[in-house]
Amino acid sequence: MSYLKKIIHNCKKATYLIDKKEMGRITLREHIELRIHLIGCSFCRIYGKQSRAINKMVRELFRSATQPGVKLDDDFKKDLQERIEEELNK
């Protein structure tokens, strides 16, 4: 199998690179490989969108949780769940 075909058909590596990119930096080669894969894979594009939304909400949650006296009440949990579902349905 050619190198290009390996990139195009490797969702496991693509999801790894999506997560790695969310957590820090990826190399130029990894960035190119990921872009090539995402051009043809709608499943991994959706995974990336969901991953970004979840990571953003978790960061916001931790940021707000560091405030003194802040606790997760039922309304906050419901709002967070609705926001997650809204982002996933875009």
Which tens digit of pLDDT belongs to each residue from 9-66? 899 999 999 999 998 999 999 999 999 999 999 999 999 999 999 999 998 888 876 7
Cα angle 58, 61, 67; round to 5? 150
Total domains in the fold of the chain: 1
Segments in 41-73 forming alpha helices (H):
42-65
Residue range 56-81: average pLDDT? 80
Structural domain of residue 18, as residue ranges?
A: 3-88
pTM over 0.85: no
